[in-house]
């Protein structure tokens, strides 16, 4: 495209090219098999490294003819092999080439060819299959459609180093789902591939290693088997440890570390095992260093983040290893100002990896700061960290946004950070922006973070409230995803905690009683719990209680009855009784309970429940009802005495639980006064 040719000229050049290409194709149809063979060989030489020629030949229909020749039993073995080689060469071209080859059903034809006995032919077919399968455009399912293919490939593993290399490479690229893992596992992949780790060929070793990493990923069964495998009398884990030695190629160290990471996360190796703490973790930290290639740094950081996600001890060790926290700050410096000027190639390379680097760093920070307050502090004190998160939240790349919000979420578990850096950098602003029509996975993380930002002591709470977040959270409670519903209602609950009447009214208005009661019957226990929590927070301080109960008393009492009668866990019932207790604290609201004999009976029975927590909550409710200094307390006391509450209270003063005992005594004092 360097020079724009005049249109007619361009056509003539094209036709010239096509003419020579056509000649190659024509020769495939020669009646003389010897000439056909020569034609294929010439074609092979013509297409090597020539993408245009490859495209031309495909357009001119060379592929079906080559496949025909390859499959024809009358073709000589030499011809069939050459055909496979040419097809392999064509596959090396562009993605479009691969698509055309797959469309011509090249895969079943080549798989069929593997049944031949001739090793050279098999290798040519495998090589072509390998090239086709490692392309992202090829549907991996094609490897698994014929159930005889996998066992046959396993049997070919013993034939030569080439078959080993190609087959393991195919496996490691096509094993994408747990089903795939199980198919390979059930056909003896582990036993067949393990010896290849000791192969004299580096390529075979590497492909075998990659196979194990994809097989072990999130697969407990495979991982459990792997820890017991012996290779040359040595445990597989030890083989992996050796492959992580610092003088081994980086690719090998990294892949071996991945294998051990996956085995560890699948529960096959303990996180306090020496091979994890002393070998895998430091190896992965090294992969994050500035000396490594950008790709390696991305992979290293992601793997490390995955390894230590659930284990605070690993997080602590990683946080002190080789200045990891500071090392990660460098991930944000691409493309650097130097690379922009120095050379275009480098800039292009840096640009390509910049997003990947940033998201990997965010992920690793998220993992590092998941549990330990000191580490979180160290992270937030890293140069420009909060600014980087803030800008990460609004990046165009969804991957970066997700990772940034994960990181923010991890840090938001710190009370201190919520009070300081989060407020100083107004992280709530980009967070709120992120919440507007983001994909679900981002929404879940962002709304979780928002929940923490709405905690009572968070200085960001005020500005968030003013930004009209209520509507947004209410809409989250209507989501299909339980995680989003929980986060929505959770945030509302936090928001209502010790809030002004104005805020509470706003929440009730925006959510609507209908939605509130729908949430009270939500199938997800977590949603129910948080909704009850919201109700409880709404019903606090006397004037609020009376006001809300005067407008929604009937529905609330109904809902409470329903829950107390329904099949729910202890926590749910406890929370409900606490709500009742709050209602009992209201001036006018308590009448709603006092006039409801059915409810009083329920309270009475909970006072005698086997669970102390429920007893406590019920007693608390009664104590509120009979509180002395209020109007009509005498009548309420009398009524409850008649219903037998006093006897129960008396009994509870003897309870073994000191809290319950105290509370019962306090209640009894109301009668004595």
Partner 1 sequence: MAELGAGSLQVGDPALNYQERELNERLKRLYPAVNEEETPLPRSWSPKDKYSYIGLSQNNLRVHYKGHGKNHKDAASVRATHPIPAACGIYYFEVKIVSKGRDGYMGIGLSAQGVNMNRLPGWDKHSYGYHGDDGHSFCSSGTGQPYGPTFTTGDVIGCCVNLINNTCFYTKNGHSLGVAFTDLPPNLYPTVGLQTPGEIVDANFGQQPFVFDIEDYMSEWRAKIHGMIARFPIGERLGEWQAVLQSMVSSYLVHHGYCATAMAFARATETKIQEDQSSIKNRQRIQKLVLAGRVGEAIDATQQLYPGLLEHNPNLLFMLKCRQFVEMVNGTDSEVRCFSTRSPKSQDSYPGSPSLSPRHGATNPHLHSTATDSPTCSNGVTSKNKSHSKYPGISSSSSSSPSSPSSIVYSESNSTDSTKSQPHSSASNQETSDSEMEIEAEHYTNGVADSSSARIMNGTYKHEEILQTDNHSLGNGLPADESDQPRQLCGGNQAATERMIQFGRELQALSEQLCREYGKNPTHKKMLQDAFSLLAYADPWNCPVGQQLDPMQRESVCSALNSAILGKGCECSGSLSHFFLSLSHARTHTNTQMELLQFIHQLTGLNNLPDFNYPFQSLIF
- Binding residues for partner 1, rule: CB under 8 A, are 245-247, 278, 282, 317, 320-323, 327
Q: How far apart are CA 91 and CA 5, in angstroms?
A: 30
Q: Give the nearest distance from C-beta 365 to partner 1 in angstroms.
A: 17
Q: How far apart are CA 636 and CA 644, in angstroms?
A: 12
Q: Give the nearest distance from C-beta 414 to partner 1 in angstroms.
A: 19
- Cβ distance to partner 1 smaller for residue 285 or 557: 285
Tokens 């209410």 belong to which residue? Answer: 474
Q: How far apart are CA 463 and CA 140, in angstroms?
A: 50
CB 608 within 8 A of CB 648: yes
- Cβ distance to partner 1 smaller for residue 125 or 317: 317
Q: What is the 3-state secondary structure (H, E, C) of 532-550?
A: HHHHHHHCCCHHHHHHHHH
- Cβ distance to partner 1 smaller for residue 317 or 618: 317
| H or E, element range at 235 | strand 234-235
- Cβ distance to partner 1 smaller for residue 241 or 264: 241
Inter-axis angle of helices 501-511 and 469-476, nearest 10:
40
Q: Rounded to 10 degrees, what is the CA torsion of 482, 483, 485, 489?
A: 140
Q: Give the nearest distance from C-beta 202 to partner 1 in angstroms.
A: 14
CB 427 within 8 A of CB 389: yes
Q: Give the nearest distance from C-beta 278 to partner 1 in angstroms.
A: 6
Residue 223 CB: number of other CB atoms within 10 A?
Answer: 23
- Cβ distance to partner 1 smaller for residue 77 or 278: 278
- Cβ distance to partner 1 smaller for residue 254 or 451: 254
- Cβ distance to partner 1 smaller for residue 322 or 348: 322
Q: Give the nearest distance from C-beta 249 to partner 1 in angstroms.
A: 9
Q: How far apart are CA 564 and CA 568, in angstroms?
A: 8
CB 479 within 8 A of CB 485: yes
CA atoms within 13 A on the CB side of 101: 33
- Cβ distance to partner 1 smaller for residue 296 or 506: 296
CB proximity list for 436: less than 8 A, separation 6 or greater: 472
611: left (phi over 0), alpha (psi -120 to 50) or beta: beta
- Cβ distance to partner 1 smaller for residue 118 or 234: 234
Nearest to 318 by CA among 338, 330, 335, 303: 303
Q: How far apart are CA 376 and CA 452, in angstroms?
A: 15
CB proximity list for 37: less than 8 A, separation 6 or greater: 76, 78, 79, 82
Q: Give the nearest distance from C-beta 168 to partner 1 in angstroms.
A: 25
- Cβ distance to partner 1 smaller for residue 377 or 604: 377
Q: How far apart are CA 673 and CA 671, in angstroms?
A: 6
- Cβ distance to partner 1 smaller for residue 54 or 279: 279
Q: Give the nearest distance from C-beta 240 to partner 1 in angstroms.
A: 14
Q: Give the nearest distance from C-beta 560 to partner 1 in angstroms.
A: 52
Q: How far apart are CA 83 and CA 213, in angstroms?
A: 34
Tokens 């866990």 belong to which residue? Answer: 569
Q: Give the nearest distance from C-beta 265 to partner 1 in angstroms.
A: 21
Q: How far apart are CA 517 and CA 523, in angstroms?
A: 12
| H or E, element range at 230 | strand 230-231
Q: Give the nearest distance from C-beta 367 to partner 1 in angstroms.
A: 17
Q: Could you tell me the sign of the dihedral formed by the alpha carbons of 316, 322, 323, 326, in that order?
A: negative
Q: What does the buried/exposed string (b/e) look like for 477-489 if buried means 16 or more CB atoms within 10 Å of the residue's CB?
A: bebeeebbbbbbb
Q: Give the nearest distance from C-beta 320 to partner 1 in angstroms.
A: 5
Q: Give the nearest distance from C-beta 39 to partner 1 in angstroms.
A: 41
Q: How far apart are CA 282 and CA 244, in angstroms?
A: 10
CB 373 within 8 A of CB 381: no
Q: Give the nearest distance from C-beta 529 to partner 1 in angstroms.
A: 39
- Cβ distance to partner 1 smaller for residue 278 or 344: 278
Backbone angles phi, psi at 163, to 5 degrees: -60, -40
- Cβ distance to partner 1 smaller for residue 113 or 369: 369
- Cβ distance to partner 1 smaller for residue 119 or 278: 278
| Both structure tokens of 436 | 């507007």
Q: Give the nearest distance from C-beta 319 to partner 1 in angstroms.
A: 9
Q: Give the nearest distance from C-beta 248 to partner 1 in angstroms.
A: 8
Q: Report angle CA 360, 363, 365 to the nearest 5 degrees.
A: 110
CB 136 within 8 A of CB 96: no
- Cβ distance to partner 1 smaller for residue 241 or 491: 241
């Amino acid at each position: 495209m360097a020079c724009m040719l005049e249109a007619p000229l361009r056509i003539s050049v094209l036709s010239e090219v096509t003419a020579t290409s056509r000649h190659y194709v024509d020769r495939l149809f020669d009646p003389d098999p010897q000439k056909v063979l020569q034609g294929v060989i010439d074609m092979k030489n013509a297409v090597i490294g020539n993408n245009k020629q490859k495209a031309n030949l495909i357009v001119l229909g060379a592929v079906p003819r080559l496949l025909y020749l390859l499959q024809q039993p009358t073709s000589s073995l030499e011809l069939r092999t050459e055909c496979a080689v040419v097809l392999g060469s064509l596959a090396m071209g562009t993605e479009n080439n691969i698509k055309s080859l797959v469309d011509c059903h090249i895969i079943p034809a080549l798989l069929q060819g593997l049944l031949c006995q001739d090793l050279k032919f098999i290798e040519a077919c495998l090589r072509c299959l390998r090239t086709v399968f490692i392309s992202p455009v090829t549907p991996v399912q094609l490897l698994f459609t014929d159930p005889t293919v996998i066992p046959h490939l396993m049997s070919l593993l013993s034939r030569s180093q080439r078959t080993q290399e190609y087959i393991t490479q195919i496996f490691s690229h096509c094993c994408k789902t747990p089903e795939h893992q199980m198919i390979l596992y059930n056909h003896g992949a582990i036993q067949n591939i393990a010896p290849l780790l000791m192969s004299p060929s580096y390529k075979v070793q590497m492909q075998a290693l990659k196979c194990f990493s994809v097989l072990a990923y999130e697969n407990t069964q495979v991982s459990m088997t792997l820890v017991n495998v012996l290779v040359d009398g040595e445990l597989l884990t030890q083989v992996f440890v050796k492959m992580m030695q610092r003088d081994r190629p980086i690719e090998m160290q990294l892949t071996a570390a991945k294998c051990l990471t996956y085995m560890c996360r699948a529960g096959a190796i303990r996180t306090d095992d020496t091979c994890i703490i002393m070998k895998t973790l430091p190896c992965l930290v090294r992969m994050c260093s500035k000396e490594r290639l950008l790709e390696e740094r991305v992979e290293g950081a992601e793997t490390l983040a995955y390894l230590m996600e659930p284990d605070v001890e690993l997080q602590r060790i990683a946080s002190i290893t080789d200045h990891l926290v500071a090392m990660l700050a460098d991930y944000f410096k691409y493309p650097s100002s130097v690379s922009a000027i120095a050379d275009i190639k480098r800039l292009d390379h840096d640009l390509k990896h910049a997003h990947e680097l940033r998201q990997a760093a965010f992920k690793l920070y998220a993992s590092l700061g998941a549990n330990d307050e000191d580490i979180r502090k160290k992270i937030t004190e890293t140069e420009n960290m909060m600014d980087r998160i803030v800008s990460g939240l609004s990046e165009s790349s969804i991957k970066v946004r997700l990772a940034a919000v994960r990181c923010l979420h991890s840090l938001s578990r710190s009370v201190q950070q919520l009070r300081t850096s989060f407020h100083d950098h107004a992280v709530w602003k980009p967070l709120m922006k992120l919440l507007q029509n983001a994909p679900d996975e981002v929404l879940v993380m962002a709304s979780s973070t928002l929940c923490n930002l709405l905690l009572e002591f968070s200085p960001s709470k005020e500005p968030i409230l003013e930004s009209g977040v209520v509507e947004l959270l209410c809409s989250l409670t209507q989501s299909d995803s339980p995680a989003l519903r929980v986060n929505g209602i959770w945030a509302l609950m936090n928001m209502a905690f010790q809030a002004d009447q104005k805020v509470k009214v706003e929440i009730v208005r925006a959510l609507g009683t209908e939605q509130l009661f729908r949430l009270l019957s939500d199938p997800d226990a977590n949603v129910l719990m948080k909704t009850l929590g919201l109700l409880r927070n709404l019903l606090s301080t006397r004037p609020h209680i009376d006001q809300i109960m005067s407008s929604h008393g009937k529905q609330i009492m109904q809902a409470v009855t329903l829950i107390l009668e329904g099949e729910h866990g202890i926590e749910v019932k406890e929370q409900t009784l606490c709500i009742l207790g709050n209602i009992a604290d209201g001036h006018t609201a308590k009448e709603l309970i006092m006039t409801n004999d059915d409810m009083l009976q329920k309270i009475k029975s909970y006072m005698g429940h086997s669970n102390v927590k429920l007893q406590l909550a019920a007693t608390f409710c009664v104590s509120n009802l009979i509180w002395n200094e209020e109007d009509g307390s005498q009548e309420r006391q009398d009524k409850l005495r008649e219903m037998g509450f006093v006897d129960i209270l008396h009994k509870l003063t003897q309870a073994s639980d000191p809290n319950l005992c105290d509370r019962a005594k306090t209640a009894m004092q109301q009668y004595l006064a």
